[in-house]
Structure 1
């Protein structure tokens, strides 16, 4: 009797484990539909314009028009092609269906429209906060004597100026 109970229990466990469906990976087509709904190509164009401005300032001898072509149509397609597997690893087919539903909704479209502005404002605030935080921490280190007034590490207390070695005439 125990033997049969053990066999039945093993079958139930095996059936239960085998019956658990592995979450389906989204197809490339689904992921590309998501990219389209999210206006990913337009986001890349915006990134390209911002990058062109930065590069124009960093390398003023190169015309800004040169950098405008950094992410052209071919580049956009290449970049999206490389991003598809990332989305396939992190989202299930069911997730992508839900994301498509959300991003097609009015709220989803508002998120897409407002996200570049909120991210830009957030980055600006983050940079400002980071600058203020770094200044406060440097000031604290100066007060403790870890850093000198110019923000550099002072010479260690036991360090002395090295004595020059006299040259010998061999």
Structure 2
């Protein structure tokens, strides 16, 4: 046996032992099917409505109807096409097949239908936690004499802006 063949054999054994054998990449059709059963197009519609409401507040001079077409059917197709390589990079064909099977199951369908409300509630909880945590930390810094009652650093002049907080403002409630 030549050294080259021996090295190739050792390399193949190492690849098998470490699980680094290249698995088949999912096809574009598989990824599209997964996105369909995950209800990605409807998620884009929800995102578009949220974005349109936000943009209407930020730019009241632009009619809300303008933003409602931001992620139209053409935009959805462009987004899906742009997202496919990420799925192909992170999942094998077998994994995508398993995900499709899961998302078609009753539990998978429940996950799809409940996820928007779950994420909204979780985000609200996270925001509430962040406001309370910031308030607690600001109180602690004030007790330590590092911040004044308005959330400004002490000893550096009165023209300092209040310290920023995740909830906006000075963290005072």
Please identify the structure whose Cα radius of gyration is greater. 1
Give the C-alpha shift of residue 18 in structure 1.
7.2
2:9 counterpart of 1:16: no
Output the TM-score relative to the length of structure 2: 0.80
- Aligned pair in 2 of structure 1 residues 112, 12: CA closer, same or farther (>3 Å)? same
Q: Which runs of 5+ in 1 are unaligned?
A: 160-170
For 1:90-130, what per-residue CA distance to the aligned partner results, in whole angstroms no more than 9, with x for missing partners? 11111100000000111111100000000001001100110
Please list, as runs of the form range in 1=range in 2, the aligned pairs for 1:1-170 lying within 5 A after superposition: 12-17=9-14, 21-156=21-156
- Which structure is higher in RCO with an 8 Å CA cutoff and minimum separation 6? 1
For 1:141-162, what per-residue CA distance to the aligned partner results, in whole angstroms no more than 9, with x for missing partners? 0110111111011125xx9xxx
- Aligned pair in 2 of structure 1 residues 18, 125: CA closer, same or farther (>3 Å)? closer
How many residue pairs match? The answer is 153
RMSD over aligned Cα, in angstroms?
Answer: 2.3
Alignment partner, residue 162 of structure 1: none
Residues 15-24 or 143-152, more deviating: 15-24
Give the C-alpha shift of residue 56 in structure 1.
1.3
Q: Which runs of 5+ in 2 are unaligned?
A: 158-173
Output the TM-score relative to the length of structure 1: 0.81
CA distance in 2, matches of 1:18, 1:133: 48
